[in-house]
Amino acid sequence: MVTILVLIQTKGGGFTSGVGSSISFYRSRRGLEKSVFIFTIILSIVLVVNSLLLVIFS
């Protein structure tokens, strides 16, 4: 799930878009893009905490 969310967020929108261009610029996230970004961070934190708890209690 985290992998899919990260792939959705790639600038340019394709798997090979990063190969051809090395020029990037900063822009703010708005709307759905910001929601997906925040959800990715939350889901990643939950994954790390869950993994740590499994290691500690097993």
Q: Express each pLDDT in 3-55 by its tens digit.
A: 888 888 876 554 544 445 555 566 677 888 888 889 999 999 999 999 999 99
Q: How high is the pLDDT of residue 10?
A: 75
DSSP letters spanning 10-22:
-TTSSSSHHHH--
Q: Which two tokens stand for residue 6?
A: 């990260």
Would you say residue 24 lies in a domain? no
Asked if 7 and 13 count as a contact pair (C-beta separation under 8 A), the reply is: no
Would you say residue 13 lies in a domain? no
Would you say residue 57 lies in a domain? yes
Q: What is the pTM of this model?
A: 0.65
Would you say residue 50 lies in a domain? yes
Q: Count the domains in the chain.
A: 1
CA distance 36 to 8: 9
Q: How high is the pLDDT of residue 12?
A: 57
Would you say residue 4 lies in a domain? yes
